[in-house]
């Protein structure tokens, strides 16, 4: 696995490719839900914990809303659209100050959460590549 983080560069908005659907096929919906639960637990103990719910039940709920999104983006059922409406990720992140440094902490937590996933390297890499690039687009603060 290559977990190299692509540096944020002022004014550069990268094209993003969706993850390989094999990722969802291999790890299953339950696997993505467990991945997002680990990820949110990591976030809640990270230097950007102030951005996320401090109540454990709220935190788990947020993790599962995100899981809805990631299942959908990996080619699964449209849970996020059904429960929350159109993704509009840029707008949804606008209330939170996401600096280039916050992005690094966010990605490090995702790396930790992905580590125990036992799928093929090729599909895990495609998932990492997706969040690596997409996260650049979520930076909205300096």
Q: Which residues bind ligand HEM (CB under 6 A)?
A: 48, 51-52, 62, 65-66, 69, 84, 89, 92-93, 96, 98, 102-103, 106, 131, 134-135, 138
Give min distance, CB of 59 to ligand HEM, in A. Answer: 8
For 124, phi and psi rounded to 5 degrees?
Answer: -65, -40
| Start-to-end Cα distance in the chain | 30
Give min distance, CB of 11 to ligand HEM, in A. Answer: 17
Give min distance, CB of 45 to ligand HEM, in A. Answer: 14
Looking at the Cβ atoms of 90 and 122, the one nearer to ligand HEM is 90
Helix (H, G, I), strand (E, B) or coil at 24: helix
């Amino acid at each position: 696995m290559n977990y190299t983080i692509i540096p944020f560069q002022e004014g550069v908005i990268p094209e993003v490719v969706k993850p390989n659907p094999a990722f969802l096929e291999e790890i299953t919906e339950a696997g993505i839900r467990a991945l997002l639960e680990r990820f949110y637990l990591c976030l809640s103990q990270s230097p950007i914990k102030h951005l996320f719910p401090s109540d454990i039940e709220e935190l788990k709920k947020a993790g599962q809303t995100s899981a809805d999104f990631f299942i959908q983006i990996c080619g699964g059922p449209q849970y996020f659209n059904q429960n929350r409406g159109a993704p509009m990720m840029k707008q949804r992140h606008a209330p939170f100050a996401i600096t280039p440094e916050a992005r690094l902490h966010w990605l490090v937590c995702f790396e930790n959460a992905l580590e125990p996933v036992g799928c093929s390297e090729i599909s895990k890499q495609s998932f990492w590549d997706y969040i690596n690039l997409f996260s650049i687009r979520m930076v909205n603060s300096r």
